Structure 1
Amino acid sequence: MNKKLLAVTLGILTAVGGFVDIGDLVESGVVGARYGMALVWVTVLGVLGICVYADMSGRIVAVSGRPVFDLIRERLGPRMALLNLAGSFLITLLTVSAEIGGVALAVELASGVDRLVWVLPIGVLVWLVVWRVGFEKMETAFGLAGLAIAAFAVAVFFLHPDWSSLGAQIAGLAPPADQALPTYAYHAVALFGSAMTPYEVFFFSSGGVEEGWTVKDLPVQRVNVLLGFPLGGLLALGVMACAAVVLFPAGVDVGQLSQIVLPVTLALGTAGVVVVLIGIFAATFGAALETGLSSGYMLAQYFGWEWGKRRKPRDAARFHVAVAGGLLLAVLVVQTGIDPVGLTEVSLIFSAVALPLTYLPVLIVANDREYLGEHANKRFSNILGFAMLVVIAVAAVAAIPLMIFTGAGQ
């Protein structure tokens, strides 16, 4: 019983760490400040989508003992899998750059020292943790610390909001009268992309292999999905609600991480800021670990290399070199001085574009009885999967035109 409880807890922390990253923090703050709670429905839709496809990915791993990307290459062929790899890998590199930039911003807020001073040390520290710290210890430590982001939710109550007004914003499902519909749609796509970021399913499935999931673990894996990702969604809604209560009435457009933290400062004072900065650091650092590992997972699984943190670096040298190379590229991108908040916005839009390349193959493999036998998708899973795929396709098609037409949401 204790072992199962530990497995559930670890899975929940993993899901939380994967859901609440710099993309969710920034975009939830941006839309809360601009639209109040009018885009809650997008977060709910994103949580539903990631739950549906994470469940498929976890089931694939538990039954086959192999990660999703490995089976995608075998099932769809090397050419189709290469297209999937190219899209997902480039988006993951963009995302890990944004995550490292987010960690640097958190340290800058805490120390007062310019973020560019911290970028290289952060990149080195991420690499050292990937190289030296065990998978379960890594996930537990940063997932648990990341729960400090719940300070946003606590702050909402101390701000004494007009609950009826927040409820009306949620029920309205539309932008305020002074906000353009195309810009509203742009931010809806970005918020959806933040919930469905491609690296999440690759990390989740590869992590399942790292932890040795089998068919006996299917119930635990499903509990992980159904508790972990919704909890991550609630934490993101806490960020949105803080911005909706403080920044939305003041007409503040979020462009800095300090603005997202401001409501916590007003509600909880210095102690609250310390707690929430710990949470932001842990969540973004944890996401940097996950995205960095995911870039290595993708390449290794496509090319058939030995991979995984469970293997010594000398036994999986190409995997570790790929992870280190991806982290180095990310550090170089952030070191140019590019705005991490702006980089995050761009990464979310391109994530939305790449979503079909990630999730259509997962749906195909999850329906293949040659791999999954009696555990292949049932009718209900397919209904949800196909419905979410339609939403994913609409978001992917609309993303770039909306970015161009709205000037990236301006």
Structure 2
Amino acid sequence: MKRYLAVALGVLTAIGGFVDIGDLVTNAQVGARFGMSLGLVVVIGVLGICVFAEMSGRIAAVSHRATFDLVRERLGPRMGLLNLFGSMAVTLLTFIAEIGGVALALALVTSVHHLLIIPFVALLLAVLLWRARFSFLENALGLLGLVLIVFAVALWQLGPDWSELGRQMTTADKPGSETWVDYSYFAVALFGAAMTPYEVFFFSSGGVEERWKVKDIAVMRANVFIGFPLGGLLSLAIAGSAAVALQPAGITVDSLGEVGLPVAMALGKIGIALAIVGFVAATFGAACETGLSVGYSLAQYLGWQWGKYVRPDKAGAFHVTMLACTLIGVGVLMTGVDPILVTEFSVVFSAVALPLTYFPILVVANDPDYLGEHVNGRLANTLGSVYLVLVCVAAVAAIPLMIATGMGQ
């Protein structure tokens, strides 16, 4: 029974934790402008994150060692440093976007300007990163993020033509008013949002913290292959509700309030109240995960003591790194930069950093010195290789498309 409860809890937290500020904004923007014509990109991205999350979880369960520790040892300190720099830069940018997302969500409730809320969000975040148990950060916030299922309910209540949404999704039916360059830009952004690197860092590091063993691989796989796809369905519901409610009216998404507009139209005040709770939970949970991921990456590469189960006085550098990143986030956001703009940058640069994140995982997952008989099989290697090509194409295309489209404007 305990094993089944572990699977159920892991699946629920994977669903609630999959959607962050990048997924919220990007899926809503895409739905409002392109309908469901980019829905297959979400499906492809979810399958990709499942492939590499399973590899990283298996590495943690068999080797009992963290990702960047193995990357440095397997690829050498120079290549490891390149991977560390690229991955940390994107994770830090995502961390800043998540802090801004929490402030924007709270501003919807309080009507207080988000700049006044940011210091209080950062203070609470710092306290949780320093003191809260790992299980709270992983489970409580993920479960609360399940409230975002209200988007699926709203989509149902809006009474869409399901066959038309399916046709758009399966035929990639781009609206005639949109250019293929803009379409390609948002495809890359959506792919980057689905395969954000911090999700893998947090997942594998959590496995080491919780002392996964070979016998836990089955539970880990259930969490990955059930939880992430259901989280992907939640992303599609956000895009679908925007496609049904906003696209016909020509409404674009430029703020977090507009992300929740379809829910308000379908379910009224109760619906939007639940959506805001989901916004806060999802963005705050992702802020905790990204903050931890920055600390995990640096500490693992440098060989510091790390982990939420290690007291701060025993893992001081790890905890100080997270606090320093929180201060950096506050400093950037207090300049007045739009958190939505930071979010858009973060999903694009996530695409740029994908090869630096996933190539080392594929290499280590094929090394029998670390995994023995649990190295990748033919299917995992085939999918991993295909996705490595895809992430390289996305990485090369991301910056030119961002410049050519003026970030999709």
TM-score (norm 2): 0.98
Listed as ranges, the matches of 1:275-354 within 5 Å are: 275-354=274-353
How far does residue 351 in structure 1 lie from its aligned partner after superposition? 0.8
Q: Structure 1: how far apart are the matches of 2:333 and 2:9?
A: 31
Listed as ranges, the matches of 1:164-175 within 5 Å are: 164-175=163-174
Residue in structure 2 matched with residue 185 of structure 1 by the alignment: 184
Q: Structure 1: how far apart are the matches of 2:122 and 2:6?
A: 29
| 1:63 and 1:372 in contact (8 A); partners too | yes
Residue in structure 1 matched with residue 140 of structure 2 by the alignment: 141
Matched position secondary structure for 1:313: coil
| 1:21 and 1:283 in contact (8 A); partners too | yes
| 2:16 and 2:144 in contact (8 A); partners too | no
Q: Structure 2: how far apart are the matches of 1:78 and 1:10?
A: 37
Q: Structure 1: how far apart are the matches of 2:9 and 2:354?
A: 26
| 1:10 and 1:136 in contact (8 A); partners too | no
Q: Structure 2: how far apart are the matches of 1:271 and 1:252?
A: 22
Q: Structure 2: how far apart are the matches of 1:235 and 1:135?
A: 25
The one-letter amino acid paired with 1:90 is A
How far does residue 260 in structure 1 lie from its aligned partner after superposition? 1.0
Residue in structure 2 matched with residue 235 of structure 1 by the alignment: 234
How far does residue 229 in structure 1 lie from its aligned partner after superposition? 0.6
Q: Structure 2: how far apart are the matches of 1:189 and 1:156?
A: 25
How far does residue 164 in structure 1 lie from its aligned partner after superposition? 2.4
Residue in structure 2 matched with residue 158 of structure 1 by the alignment: 157
Residue in structure 2 matched with residue 116 of structure 1 by the alignment: 115
Matched position secondary structure for 2:246: helix
Q: Structure 1: how far apart are the matches of 2:158 and 2:17?
A: 28
Q: Structure 1: how far apart are the matches of 2:394 and 2:177?
A: 24
| 2:17 and 2:145 in contact (8 A); partners too | no
CA-based RMSD: 0.9
Listed as ranges, the matches of 1:11-410 within 5 Å are: 11-410=10-409
| 1:10 and 1:139 in contact (8 A); partners too | no
Q: Structure 2: how far apart are the matches of 1:16 and 1:327?
A: 26
Q: Which digits, 9 at most, give the CA deviation of each residue in 1:351-402, with x for residues without a partner? A: 1000000000000000000100000000010001001111111100100110
Q: Structure 2: how far apart are the matches of 1:173 and 1:138?
A: 37
Q: Structure 1: how far apart are the matches of 2:143 and 2:36?
A: 27
Q: Structure 1: how far apart are the matches of 2:12 and 2:66?
A: 20
How far does residue 16 in structure 1 lie from its aligned partner after superposition? 2.7
Q: Percent identity?
A: 59
- When structure 1 is superposed on structure 2, of 10-19 and 43-52 the one drifting more is 10-19
Matched position secondary structure for 1:233: helix
State the number of aligned residues: 409
Q: Which digits, 9 at most, give the CA deviation of each residue in 1:99-131, with x for residues without a partner? A: 011101100011111111110110111111111
How far does residue 19 in structure 1 lie from its aligned partner after superposition? 1.9
Matched position secondary structure for 2:260: helix
Q: Which digits, 9 at most, give the CA deviation of each residue in 1:225-276, with x for residues without a partner? A: 0011111101111110110001111111211111110110011111111111
The one-letter amino acid paired with 1:20 is V
Q: Structure 1: how far apart are the matches of 2:225 and 2:75?
A: 29
How far does residue 5 in structure 1 lie from its aligned partner after superposition? 2.3
Q: Structure 2: how far apart are the matches of 1:19 and 1:331?
A: 24
Q: Structure 2: how far apart are the matches of 1:165 and 1:195?
A: 24
How far does residue 9 in structure 1 lie from its aligned partner after superposition? 2.9
Consecutive unaligned residues in structure 1, runs of 5 or more: none
Residue in structure 2 matched with residue 7 of structure 1 by the alignment: 6
How far does residue 17 in structure 1 lie from its aligned partner after superposition? 4.2
| 2:102 and 2:279 in contact (8 A); partners too | yes
The one-letter amino acid paired with 1:393 is C
Q: Structure 2: how far apart are the matches of 1:135 and 1:145?
A: 16
Q: Structure 1: how far apart are the matches of 2:67 and 2:404?
A: 36
Q: Structure 1: how far apart are the matches of 2:137 and 2:4?
A: 18
- When structure 1 is superposed on structure 2, of 13-22 and 189-198 the one drifting more is 13-22
Q: Which digits, 9 at most, give the CA deviation of each residue in 1:311-334, with x for residues without a partner? A: 000000000000111111111111
Consecutive unaligned residues in structure 2, runs of 5 or more: none
Q: Structure 1: how far apart are the matches of 2:188 and 2:405?
A: 13
Q: Structure 1: how far apart are the matches of 2:83 and 2:14?
A: 23
Matched position secondary structure for 1:213: coil
Q: Structure 1: how far apart are the matches of 2:132 and 2:8?
A: 19
The one-letter amino acid paired with 1:376 is V
Q: Structure 2: how far apart are the matches of 1:319 and 1:397?
A: 33
* Displacement over 4 Å in runs of 4+: none
Matched position secondary structure for 2:329: helix
| 1:102 and 1:340 in contact (8 A); partners too | yes
Q: Which digits, 9 at most, give the CA deviation of each residue in 1:108-160, with x for residues without a partner? A: 01111111111011011111111111111222110110000000000011111
